[in-house]
Amino acid sequence: MIVILTPARAAHTREQNPAVQDRIRSLLPEMPSAVARVAAYLLEHPQAPLTLSIGELAEQAGASPATVTRFCRTIGYPGYVELRVGIATDVGRGASLDSWTAEIGGEFGPDDSPEDLLRMLIGSHTKALREATSAIDLAVITEVSRRIALSSHVDIYGVVGSAMLADELQGRLYRIGVPAYAWSEVHSGLTSAAIQDSNTVAIGISTTGRTEETIEMLALAGRAGAFTVAITNDPTSPLAERADRSIVTSIYEQLRQPDDLSAKHGQLLVLDLLYLLVAQENFDRSSAKLAASARAVASHRRPRRTPPRAAGVLRDGSTTSAQPTGSGRIPSEKADR
């Protein structure tokens, strides 16, 4: 018995474009014994055609080259060359999916609809915030906030994605009167770390806690005498081990890939809480600094647009227009007169 795809079935197979391994498994029960031997060999050695000629594959499978050609036609390929192309495509597709899963995660698929992506993102972000809330040690973060409020200088270290968080915390602390500086370039960061002392605080931010540059900068600041703080998802990481205090931003085991799209939300929650606690430590100074900075930039903000008033009837029976004049103002009754 020889199983060859009918034109209709072949067209359906091409349209669906299943992987070679999926085609073999679905059609294996219908294959005659000689063709099935080729199928069984390829299930065990799925990439063999990429390195073997048709004759070599036939010899390894205990079949003839003609049987290999029949096998190719059975699963929807005109010949051995097309089979090799299909396998190479599957290998490339698998590598792309592996990279996607490793970096972005298995929860989000490359073919998910915008509605599904939005729903999954909301669920993932909400879960991250809940995990961050349960992981925060309020006693530790309160102690850190007091140290920051009393310090003469705060260094904040973070590279790549964590550099944005370092800049965010630095900007907030600086606005309430805390002399804070963020360092993402390791040479500049090490230069600053080396001149810290017992009156300063050094903070290292790293999601994994294993970023070598951040570890190096924080460790040097600690040796110089600074009170060191690690903000990380992993309380057992090298960064946490080298810090005087660690603020955990998530349940580390739940972080499934490096580019966890929800990780930053838990970290930002921690930074928001830390900022507010520092501001509370010196409320008068914080309020005065915030007011001064607001006044300084007030003239650079455009006023909000006033929505046009609807046409109405005045007491004397005349009407006002809803259309603005050339100056952009709605004409008043006196202007009409």
Q: Of the segments 10-24, 111-125, 210-224, which one has the largest average pLDDT value?
A: 210-224
Looking at the DSSP bridge assignments, the partners of residue 143 are none
In a domain, 335, yes or no: no
In a shared domain, residues 64 and 151: no
- One-letter identity of residue 195: I
- Residue 192 near residue 204, CB atoms below 8 Å: no
pLDDT tens by residue, 85-120? 888 877 766 554 444 444 445 566 666 778 877 887
In a shared domain, residues 149 and 92: no
Task: Residue 54: give the domain boundaries.
Answer: 7-103
- Residue with the bigger pLDDT between 285 and 307: it is 285
In a shared domain, residues 153 and 222: yes
- What's the rounded Cα separation, in Å, for the pair 271 and 231? 9
In a shared domain, residues 188 and 285: yes
- Residue 119 near residue 252, CB atoms below 8 Å: no
The enclosing domain of 57 has a CATH number of: 1.10.10.10
pLDDT tens by residue, 245-300? 999 887 544 444 444 566 788 888 999 999 999 999 988 888 898 899 888 888 88
Assign 185 to helix, strand or coil: coil
Report the number of distinct structural domains present in the chain: 2
In a shared domain, residues 74 and 208: no
In a shared domain, residues 241 and 142: yes
What is the average pLDDT value for the chain, to the nearest integer? 81
In a domain, 2, yes or no: no
- Residue 70 near residue 114, CB atoms below 8 Å: no
In a domain, 306, yes or no: no
- Flag whether pLDDT at 144 surpasses 90: yes
Confidence of residue 178 (pLDDT cuts 50, 70, 90): very high
Share of the chain above pLDDT 70, in %: 76
In a shared domain, residues 86 and 143: no
In a shared domain, residues 98 and 165: no
In a shared domain, residues 13 and 81: yes
The pLDDT assigned to 12 comes to: 44
- Tabulate helix, strand, coil % of the chain (nearest 5): 60, 10, 35
Does an H or E element contain 247, and which? strand 245-248
In a domain, 326, yes or no: no
- What's the rounded Cα separation, in Å, for the pair 226 and 204? 12
